[in-house]
Amino acid sequence: MNITQKIIKNHLISGEMKAGEKIAIKIDQTLTQDATGTMAYLQFEALGVQKVQTELSVSYIDHNMLQNGFMNADDHAFLQSIAKKHGIYLSKPGNGICHQVHLERFGIPGKTLVGSDSHTPTGGGLGMLAMGVGGLDAALSMAGQPFYLNMPKVVEVRLTGSLKPFVSAKDVILELLRRVTVKGGVGKVMEFTGPGIETLTVPERATITNMGAEIGATTSIFPSDEITRQFMAIQERDEQWVAVQADSDAVYDDLIEIDLSTLDTMIAQPHMPDQVVKVKEIEGKEVNQVVVGSCTNSSYKDISTLAQMLKGKKVHENISMGLLPGSKQVLRKLVQTGELDSILDAGVRILETSCGACIGMGFSPGTDAVTLRTFNRNFLGRTGTKSAQAYLCSPEVAVAAALEGKITDPRDLGLDTPVYDVNTTFTIDDSLILAPDEDGSNVEIKRGPNIKPLPLNEGISGKIEGTVVLKVEDDITTDHIMPAGAKILPLRSNVPEISKHVFEVIDPAFPERAKAAGTGIIIGGENYGQGSSREHAALAPMYLGVRAKLVKSFARIHLANLVNFGILPLTFVNPADYDSIDQDDKLAVDLSDIESGQVTVTNQTKGSSFKADHPLSQREIEIVLAGGALGYVKKQTVTA
Ligand code: MIC
Ligand code: SF4
């Protein structure tokens, strides 16, 4: 067996471990972050469970940190009180980005982790089976419910050789994105093997598994080996280490080979993470802003590399450069080593230890600006500036641009190769992590006026008759559907308000039109809903009356979120039918035969009809017809 199969087998509750089959597994750990967490905990509350049933659940506050008004602070207080009450650890603002802190302080090889954030696969760098899910699935896991997924295919990504100076882990995942695109990993786990893995530290492995989210993979995973043990020993957690290795005769569904020593410095161009070219191909392009940080590239190794490259130098006068350290542990180390001095002397702006600019929470670039970011996503508008051109690259490439004022291959600067000592120790200080109350029954939950009750869906019966309220192309991301950023993110606990921004970057008139239509249907292309795990991309359209989405194909987490909120996900049997539908057409979806796996769609405007598939199991059909998972699960537990 490979590692993926071994971990799944150890956690299997039901189903057959055959690729594509529905399986249910037990979840050991959960994590949430504040932008998805407030909703996840409102849902957990609605499930009526007093204490989380997992081995460990952690609630992080790292996204909504720009406290412009009362909203985010209200949400933080809510999260802190609800964690204390229900047995959840709370990582306070300032402690760090959820994935970085989880790697440092909580991840355990061989365990299962779901997180209400699509970059939860960062934990795969430690040998965990770590998956991003919608908030409701995280809530259900906390309540002790099994987690349902399709048994993934397992792709062996065999690494050989070792990285050349100034070429880094980020270039490995950018190369993978170049080869397989943002759709290439759907339904698959990327499992890393080969002698090349011994040359990569845990944070480097985590950079790769983190951004595996961008190829649409269910997750990505490295073995847990001596390097993992040493990483955990430095975190004073070696007693939690276990080896996780594939059998020598393990079988995989596919093979991708990457020789690390042949890799170049790479960069993803606007506005998709798979628009990857060699840095050399676009060298010389003028740059306005550079930001280093995010859950992909904010480990101490990443930032120490930056400090070493900047030492004794100045950031170019036309560049505004920002740094977001991944955790308090990382920031403190930079202070202790004096590397923060080199960074400050070079003229870098130190931003908060948070997601920050990655999610458009501050530090937005100017009009038409070119911004180089060590992040994982460069979707249109995500920086907070629609006209900006965002590029994704490694810290090495980012610093080279910051020094030169233009896109530059770091290998051409004649700098000393940055070094990293894997034995580097850290001050272990968990004082910003609050333990829950033993009992919890006396803890009062704080609910500020920003926290509005969860809207519910009344369910569907017989047929859906509605208007095509929007028709979109391929690769629509959840950032298109439900934008984030400093203005919109604080509304995550207030669905009536946040729904006014649905599809804002594509069509600002959408919310009004959808409301006026009553029942809405959305038509989309391939890989619809890729990107983040935000369930608001399902919940807010549901609130506006959307009851079905008919597309060429769906991304995994968004599909699960649609089911969870009672929106019927349909795919074209014949992709040509996509062309026959226009916005404002009236469609009727006949559900009488839904159990056959197909439904009939009649286009009343065009006088035509065709078949559409749905990927739903019997259980999921019942969930959608019931108006979503919350009502369904509650009913099940009450009747059980
Ligand atoms: C993101 O990177 O887009 C986020 C913000 O972390 C999201 C979650 C969210 O929308 O809150 C993610 O990736 O899941
Ligand atoms: Fe935060 Fe950005 Fe990572 Fe999302 S991708 S968790 S916003 S740092």
**Banded pLDDT at 637 (limits 50, 70, 90):** low
Classify 84 as helix, strand or coil.
Answer: helix
Task: Tell me the CA–centroid distance for residue 590 and ligand 2, in Å.
Answer: 40
Task: Tell me the CA–centroid distance for residue 534 and ligand 1, in Å.
Answer: 6
Express each pLDDT in 227-265 by its tens digit: 999 999 999 999 999 999 999 999 999 999 999 999 999
358 lines ligand 2 (CB under 6 A): yes
Query: Cα separation of 460 and 269, whole Å?
Result: 42
Residue nearest atom 9 of ligand 1, based on CA coordinates: 534
Task: Tell me the CA–centroid distance for residue 307 and ligand 2, in Å.
Answer: 22
Residue nearest atom 13 of ligand 1, based on CA coordinates: 532
pLDDT of 636:
76
295 lines ligand 2 (CB under 6 A): yes
378 lines ligand 2 (CB under 6 A): no
Of the CATH numbers 3.30.70.3170, 3.40.309.10, 3.30.499.10, 3.90.180.10, which one belongs to the domain with range 3-261? 3.30.499.10
Residue 640 has pLDDT above 50, yes or no: no
Ranges of beta strands (E only) in 235-377 are: 254-259, 266-268, 276-278, 289-292, 320-323, 349-350, 370-373
Task: Tell me the CA–centroid distance for residue 3 and ligand 2, in Å.
Answer: 26
Average pLDDT, the chain: 97
Cβ-based neighbours of 475, under 8 Å, separated by 6 or more: 182, 183, 272, 525, 526, 527, 530
Query: Cα separation of 582 and 549, whole Å?
Result: 14
Residue 456 has pLDDT above 90, yes or no: no
Task: Tell me the CA–centroid distance for residue 377 and ligand 2, in Å.
Answer: 9
Task: Tell me the CA–centroid distance for residue 479 and ligand 1, in Å.
Answer: 9
Nearest to 101 by CA among 419, 426, 484, 422: 426
**Banded pLDDT at 623 (limits 50, 70, 90):** very high
pLDDT of 278:
98
Task: Give the start-to-end residue ranges of the domains of the chain.
Answer: 3-261, 269-408, 463-639
Q: Identify which ligand lies nearest to the alpha carbon of 122.
A: 2
Residue nearest atom 5 of ligand 1, based on CA coordinates: 359
How many Cβ atoms are within 10 Å of 592's Cβ, its own excluded? 10
The ligand 2 atom nearest the CA atom of 376: 5
- Mean pLDDT score, 603-613: 98
**Banded pLDDT at 73 (limits 50, 70, 90):** very high
294 lines ligand 2 (CB under 6 A): yes
382 lines ligand 2 (CB under 6 A): no
Express each pLDDT in 285-323 by its tens digit: 999 999 999 999 999 999 999 999 999 999 999 999 999
Q: What is the dotted CATH code of the domain comprising 463-639?
A: 3.20.19.10
Residue nearest atom 6 of ligand 1, based on CA coordinates: 117
Q: What is the dotted CATH code of the domain comprising 269-408?
A: 3.30.499.10
DSSP per residue over 519-547, as a string? Answer: SEEEEE-TTBTBS---THHHHHHHHTTEE
DSSP per residue over 139-194, as a string? Answer: HHHHTTPPEEEEPPEEEEEEEES-PPTT--HHHHHHHHHHHHTTTTTBTEEEEEES
Residue 639 has pLDDT above 70, yes or no: no
27 lines ligand 2 (CB under 6 A): no
- Mean pLDDT score, 461-485: 96
Residue nearest atom 1 of ligand 1, based on CA coordinates: 532
Residue 531 has pLDDT above 60, yes or no: yes
Q: What is the distance, to the nearest Å, from the Cα of residue 223 to the centroid of all Cα atoms in its chain?
A: 21
**Banded pLDDT at 476 (limits 50, 70, 90):** very high
**Banded pLDDT at 453 (limits 50, 70, 90):** confident
Residue nearest atom 12 of ligand 1, based on CA coordinates: 532
pLDDT of 244:
98
Task: Tell me the CA–centroid distance for residue 118 and ligand 1, in Å.
Answer: 6
Task: Tell me the CA–centroid distance for residue 116 and ligand 1, in Å.
Answer: 8
Do 3-261 and 269-408 have matching folds? yes
Task: Tell me the CA–centroid distance for residue 516 and ligand 1, in Å.
Answer: 29
557 lines ligand 2 (CB under 6 A): no
Task: Tell me the CA–centroid distance for residue 360 and ligand 2, in Å.
Answer: 10
Instruction: Give the residues surrounding ligand 1 with Cβ less than 6 Å away.
Output: 35-36, 63, 117-119, 132, 359, 484, 532-534
Most ligand 2 atoms within 8 A of CB, residue of 60, 210, 376, 392 to mutate: 376
How many Cβ atoms are within 10 Å of 153's Cβ, its own excluded? 18
Query: Which residue type occupies 192?
Result: F
Task: Tell me the CA–centroid distance for residue 378 and ligand 2, in Å.
Answer: 12
Strands 608-613 and 568-572: antiparallel
Task: Tell me the CA–centroid distance for residue 117 and ligand 1, in Å.
Answer: 5
Q: Identify which ligand lies nearest to the alpha carbon of 353.
A: 2
Residue 575 has pLDDT above 70, yes or no: yes
How many Cβ atoms are within 10 Å of 446's Cβ, its own excluded? 15
More confident residue, 637 or 234: 234
Residue nearest atom 7 of ligand 1, based on CA coordinates: 532
Express each pLDDT in 172-215 by its tens digit: 999 999 999 999 999 999 999 999 999 999 999 999 999 999 99
C-alpha torsion sign, points 204, 210, 216, 217: positive
Residues 266 and 211 sit within 8 Å (Cβ to Cβ): no
Most ligand 1 atoms within 8 A of CB, residue of 118, 482, 505 to mutate: 118
The ligand 2 atom nearest the CA atom of 35: 7
Residue nearest atom 10 of ligand 1, based on CA coordinates: 534
376 lines ligand 2 (CB under 6 A): yes
Alpha carbon distances (Å) from 31 to 56, 445, 463, 479, 539: 9, 20, 37, 21, 20
Strands 389-392 and 289-292: unpaired
Task: Tell me the CA–centroid distance for residue 132 and ligand 1, in Å.
Answer: 10
